[in-house]
Structure 1
Amino acid sequence: MNVCFGVFILLSVPFSSINGAYSENIETVVQKLTAQNEKLMAKIDKVDSELREEKARNNQLREKVDLLDAKLRLSGRKQTTRQLNDPTVAFTAVISPSDLTNLNAGQPIIFDRTITNMANAYDTSSGIFTAPIRGVYIFNMGIMVEPGENEYLQFVKDGAHVMYNYIHASGGLDDVSSSRTVVMELENGNQVWIRTTKSATHGSGNLHGNEFSTFSGWLLAITE
């Protein structure tokens, strides 16, 4: 009987200890899981906050892109409208008599007949082109002289030298032509013409006409 009682006591003590240890272990695990869960939730909240901030930045960027796109479309429409409304300025004039003779130093060359004179900016009586609008213009002179003749000419802008042209037909039977082209920016009202140089040795003073000598110009682009 004593032996059996001793065995019973020996078995009941470890069972209580195990039960307590097991309860403490579960509590510890729960605490750890709770702490891990809190850390995970904090990370999720942080990621969610970063996503909201990134979405806000993307929305701002999209608004800027939309605004830029709208400005570009508006600019394109304005440019198209401006091109449609831009005036056409262009002329070509020729020397119609057979020759211009006895030209003096500094004398304007009169190209008396126009083939084209859009905007009526070229004056056949004076040989002067007057810019009707501020912009970049292209001008060309093509001059012919007969054998034995020579001449120094120049583009001038409001009376100031821009560019020379020299034509020389040394002799024989052949006429000689020379062409020069210049690009210049003009203000509204600026004037351009061709004249002999002011030097006393400007040349023989004779140019061949019959529409072989020409003066042309046109508006390339309007400037602000």
Structure 2
Amino acid sequence: MTGTILQLVLLVLSGLASASKSSPGDVQSENPTTVQLDVSAELTRLRDMVTELRVELSATQAGLQCSNTQLNKMEAENEALKADLRDVKDRLVISEKEIESLKDAEQPKVAFSVALLDSGFMGPVSIDTNLVYTKVITNVGQAFSNITGFFTAPVRGVYYFRFTTRDSLDSRHMGIVLCKNGEKVMFVEEADNDGLRHYLSSGASLQLEVGDVVNMRLPAGYRIYDDADNHTTFTGFLLFTL
């Protein structure tokens, strides 16, 4: 902007110099008072132009300063937003961990696996007999009793139960019953006379209310076998709560 002002001043001075070098006839024909007035008027106009340009320059500088201030403010706000975003992300991670912890706390851990006995054959029995699995392999949650042979549901949910048994069949029937609250849910059996070892295995998912009981039963006239190798087992665990 200052360079522009200087160029205007030089342009005027150049014009005045050109006027002073004009022919003697021309000079004599001009009134000295008129020339002086023209120069004074031009200088006044230049001063006004310079003043106006200075005002515009000041306004431009003020506007630039304001823009810089606003830019600095926006950058500060942007940094604050970034910090807030990092804080929100950290809080989100903490919340997710707390939710997972609550889920784990709300979902009880229930699982058991037991075996029948070490003494060999059981049966044939004369009446339906509830089986008492005396050998506890796993009993997380302590929902199975090796005194009664019953599993008692600690929470409302869906549970999975599986059982396996063995016998040596020689014109005998091998069978076993899965019961819920004393009622038969599933009965599986096998008959053969080859005298070889045979296994039965099955399972079911059951929806249970708190306090419902599940157990295995040996029907009248049937026989099963177990020993230290745990051929006859009963297993169950909670799939999910309801």
Same fold, judged at TM 0.5 (above): yes
1:22 aligns with 2:34: no
Give 1:152-163 correspondences, 5 Å limit.
Answer: 153-162=176-185
Give 1:32-181 correspondences, 5 Å limit.
Answer: 32-72=56-96, 90-95=112-117, 96-102=119-125, 104=127, 107-111=128-132, 113-116=134-137, 118=139, 119=142, 121-124=144-147, 126-131=148-153, 137-145=159-167, 146-150=169-173, 153-162=176-185, 164-181=186-203
Deviation per residue, 1:128-177 (Å, 9 max, x gap) = 22345667654321122424444564422223554x35232444232321
| Structure with larger Rg | 2
1:206 aligns with 2:206: no
Structure 1 letter corresponding to 2:162: N
Shift of 1:12: 2.8
Gapped runs of 5+ residues in structure 2?
1-24
Gapped runs of 5+ residues in structure 1?
198-203
Deviation per residue, 1:48-70 (Å, 9 max, x gap) = 44334434433433333333344
Shift of 1:184: 4.7
Which residue in 2 is equivalent to 1:200? none
Q: Give the whole-Å Cα distance in 2 for the aligned partners of 1:72 and 1:3.
A: 97
Q: Give the whole-Å Cα distance in 1 for the aligned partners of 2:171 and 2:49.
A: 123
Shift of 1:98: 1.4
Q: SS in structure 2 opposite 1:139?
A: strand
Q: Give the whole-Å Cα distance in 1 for the aligned partners of 2:59 and 2:200.
A: 95
1:216 aligns with 2:238: no
Which residue in 1 is equivalent to 2:3? none
Over 3 Å counting, the alpha-carbon distance change for 1:115 and 1:65 in structure 2 is closer
Structure 2 letter corresponding to 1:208: I
Q: SS in structure 1 opposite 2:211?
A: coil
Over 3 Å counting, the alpha-carbon distance change for 1:31 and 1:121 in structure 2 is same
Q: CA RMSD in A?
A: 4.2
Shift of 1:216: 2.4
Q: Once the two structures are aligned, what percentage of the paired residues are identical?
A: 17
Give the total of aligned pairs: 211
